[in-house]
Amino acid sequence: MNEQPYKIVFEKLYRDEKIVPPSMKWKTVKFEEYKAIYEESVKDVFSFWQREARNLTWCSTWSKVYDGSSPRATWFKGGKLSAYYNVIGKHRETWIWSKAALIWEGEEGVARAVTYGELDALVDKIAYSMKNNGLKPGEWIIIYSSPTIESIATMLAAVKLGVPFEPVFTGFGFWELARRIKHREPKLVFTSDGFYRRGRIIDVLNTLRKAVEQANYRGQVVVYSRIGAPSLRENEVLFDDFTSTNESTEEYVANSEHPLFGLHSGYRDDYEPITHSTGGFLVQVYSTSRWVGIRPRDTYFCTVWPGWITGVSYLVFGPLMIGSTVLLYDGGPDYPSWDRWWSLIEDYAVTLFLTTGGALRLLSRKGDENVRRHNMDTLKAIIVTAEPLEADIWWWTYRVVGTGYTSFIESIPSQLSGRIPVVNMYIQSEVGTFISGNLVNYTFTPIAPGSSGTPIPGFHVMILSEKGEIGNEGFGEIILLKPWPAMPIEYPPEYAEKWKDNYYRTGDYGYLSREGYLYVLGRTDGVLKTSGYRLSPGAIEKALRQALGLNTLVLPCLDDLKFTSPLLLYSGGSGESEIRELVRKYVGAISEPSLIVNLDQSLLEEYRSKGANLILPSCSKEALRNN
């Protein structure tokens, strides 16, 4: 293995320092206290998660907490529960019912809000119509939309009926969407006619129609009119017409292992479907959401959309299970200027902000003034996820975003001394939730900037060294030594292969310090982590083979802004602009290569033979030559 790229990343991450933010002065635990709780939890993860499972409401309790052997195993076997009750229904008859559940703001500056009670009523209408249209528990729906109240309500309606859903990120092109439609064979697809980006209309419906054609999909398409009044085709119905009745439906009581939702996770050769269960997933997401500090009186702004695991777990399920208010922003961070997110935090009194390392890296380059002209004193924590967070960027976020203007405990606003915790969390689609990171509302140890904190209780994180030895210190592939409740119930062979000798190889390379802080340094399997998105290089290669008959190889290269970026090698006669255009259309703009290099066939095959897992230390021809 070429360790050079990981060393480059490590140098950017690691600093020998620990920080206790002033607001956490009386909440920070001693390292020994954390260790005691953590070790107790991983000594017997089954008892630990069984205790956590009792925080949900079950219609009948489980007979066995864990049955089978990983990867094919069932958590809480025999247990039955209503997922919808545990997410929304439980708030009925409480003060939460009349508070704002979702506040949506469009890029154009208009806002809408629904209380929990109104959200429930909307969900009921959608669920009734779905049921009336023949949807049955276990049949799939797909949601292809920017985040709107209606798209979230449609996910919840599916949850209410026991219908698993897959949200597809609108950054994916028609070809990728078509493949997801083919895989899931949904009975219904929800979409919007479009959304605004930098003032321009993005035509979502047109992309969906191309995908429907490509997939030869004959089911129903429900179109939410977000930007206008679209003229409809056969099998398409407007959301308002679809939900015109006011009937109620019963909540589906599911077995613990009933499918709840799915995503397509990026592997080296393609995106593959994985599905999470009802019981295990909800147990894990409810606990971790509380531990990261989400509370009922929080106004919570998560910039990661459903379509990615963070968005599903920590925009849809976690905060709603807790009863907090979720701010949905349907727009870009740079319109009309680069202070839009800070403005949202100021105007909606946001208390918890979740975003990606890639976004902070970009925003930090846009000048402190964009941040400092906004007062964000309501913030009590900033949660970062999806990719490594360099110590420099952590410090920028801590000082410039996290200090605020009002002194708190020992913070000194004039010196940008920092005030609130900035916590970087490690997550993976297959695990379903955060695995490692400082927990504002549980075992909060001092923050080591650049790290993903300490492993979360219940997740037995270890390191597999190059020599094949398992240890709790040093460099190597990050593994999970014990199973976790949100283990996928449907998965591809690539995931199953990562289970070996009863432990799970995450595919991420990392460093576990002597004190137990985890530093995630990049993928070991050639998968891209681009601006926080986990992308499949093979999917780009497949699209170009399909569209142009091109022979290509996509390698990840270290990128100062995006973490890793696709570097595309090809042989043949096509031009660079044609390739770029096709990648954008077929796979999506998020997969556009940073560098495209035309090579002789033989040289390209030489690179392929070196291993598609190669990470280039920079996105340049020079790096290519030297590797």
Partner 1 sequence: MPRELSLRGITISRVGLVGVKIQHGDKTYCIDPGSEIEKCYIVLCTHMHVKHCSYEYLSSFKGELLVPSTHAGVEPGGIIQLGDTNILVVPAYSKPELYFEAPPHPKGCCVGYILRFPNNLNIYYMGDTSFIEEILRINEKITILIPPIGGGYVMTPEEALEVVKSLRPAITIPVHYDKVEQYYRFRDIAQPYTQVIKLS
Residue 343 touches partner 1, criterion: CB under 8 A: yes
d(CA 157, CA 357): 32
Residue 515 touches partner 1, criterion: CB under 8 A: no
Part of the chain binding partner 1 (CB under 8 A), chosen from 94-102, 386-394, 561-569, 603-611? 94-102
The only residue of 114, 130, 211, 547 in contact with partner 1, by rule CB under 8 A = 114
What is the widest separation between alpha-carbon atoms in the chain?
69
Part of the chain binding partner 1 (CB under 8 A), chosen from 67-75, 101-109, 524-532, 603-611? 101-109
Residues 249-288, mask of contacts with partner 1 (x by CB under 8 A): ----------------------------------------
- Buried b / exposed e over 72-104, threshold 16 CB at 10 Å, is eebbbbbbbbbbbbbbbbbbeeeebbebbbbbb
Phi and psi at 280, nearest 5°, equal -60, -45
Closer to partner 1 by CB, 177 or 302: give it. Answer: 302
392-451 residues near partner 1, rule: CB under 8 A: 405-406
Coil, strand or helix at 511: strand
* Alpha helices, H only, 2-90: 4-13, 31-43, 45-53, 83-87
Q: How far out from the chain centre does Cα 159 lie?
A: 19
d(CA 475, CA 69): 28
Part of the chain binding partner 1 (CB under 8 A), chosen from 124-132, 210-218, 370-378, 576-584? 370-378
The only residue of 52, 105, 559, 592 in contact with partner 1, by rule CB under 8 A = 105
Part of the chain binding partner 1 (CB under 8 A), chosen from 125-133, 200-208, 372-380, 609-617? 372-380
Residue 60 touches partner 1, criterion: CB under 8 A: no
Answer yes or no: are the C-beta atoms of 62 and 256 closer than 8 Å. Answer: yes
Answer yes or no: are the C-beta atoms of 211 and 174 closer than 8 Å. Answer: yes
Part of the chain binding partner 1 (CB under 8 A), chosen from 70-78, 111-119, 213-221, 458-466? 111-119
Q: What angle do CA 556, 175, 173 make, to 5 degrees?
A: 70
Part of the chain binding partner 1 (CB under 8 A), chosen from 62-70, 114-122, 195-203, 431-439? 114-122
Residue 94 touches partner 1, criterion: CB under 8 A: no
Residue 375 touches partner 1, criterion: CB under 8 A: yes
Closer to partner 1 by CB, 77 or 197: give it. Answer: 197
Residues 477-506, mask of contacts with partner 1 (x by CB under 8 A): ------------------------------
User: CB of residue 124 vs partner 1: minimum separation in angstroms?
Assistant: 15
Inter-axis angle of helices 45-53 and 279-291, nearest 10: 90
Residue 248 touches partner 1, criterion: CB under 8 A: no
Part of the chain binding partner 1 (CB under 8 A), chosen from 96-104, 175-183, 225-233, 549-557? 96-104
Residue 36 touches partner 1, criterion: CB under 8 A: no
The only residue of 1, 8, 20, 111 in contact with partner 1, by rule CB under 8 A = 111
Residues 305-334, mask of contacts with partner 1 (x by CB under 8 A): --------------------x---------
Residue 103 touches partner 1, criterion: CB under 8 A: yes
Part of the chain binding partner 1 (CB under 8 A), chosen from 109-117, 247-255, 281-289, 357-365? 109-117
d(CA 426, CA 152): 24
Inter-axis angle of helices 204-215 and 174-184, nearest 10: 50
User: CB of residue 232 vs partner 1: minimum separation in angstroms?
Assistant: 24
Enumerate long-range contacts of 539-543, CB under 8 Å, 24 or more apart: 539/176, 539/266, 539/270, 539/271, 539/587, 539/591, 540/566, 540/568, 540/583, 540/587, 540/591, 540/593, 542/270, 543/175, 543/176, 543/582, 543/583, 543/586, 543/587
Residue 347 touches partner 1, criterion: CB under 8 A: yes
Residue 225 touches partner 1, criterion: CB under 8 A: no
The only residue of 378, 472, 513, 594 in contact with partner 1, by rule CB under 8 A = 378
The only residue of 203, 270, 334, 377 in contact with partner 1, by rule CB under 8 A = 377
- With CA atoms as reference, report the closest residue to 280 among 272, 288, 291: 288
Residue 98 touches partner 1, criterion: CB under 8 A: yes
Part of the chain binding partner 1 (CB under 8 A), chosen from 154-162, 192-200, 304-312, 345-353? 345-353
Closer to partner 1 by CB, 243 or 255: give it. Answer: 243
User: CB of residue 377 vs partner 1: minimum separation in angstroms?
Assistant: 6
CB proximity list for 261: less than 8 A, separation 6 or greater: 155, 158, 164, 165, 166, 167, 275, 276, 281, 312
- With CA atoms as reference, report the closest residue to 545 among 587, 487, 591, 495: 587
User: CB of residue 303 vs partner 1: minimum separation in angstroms?
Assistant: 17
For residue 444, CA distances in Å to 228, 453, 474 come to 48, 9, 22
Q: What is the CA radius of gyration of the chain?
A: 23
- With CA atoms as reference, report the closest residue to 144 among 177, 191, 210: 191
- With CA atoms as reference, report the closest residue to 402 among 362, 359, 345, 463: 345
Under the rule (CB under 8 A), what is the footprint of partner 1?
95, 98-100, 103, 105, 109-115, 118, 297, 299, 325, 343, 346-349, 351, 375, 377-378, 405-406
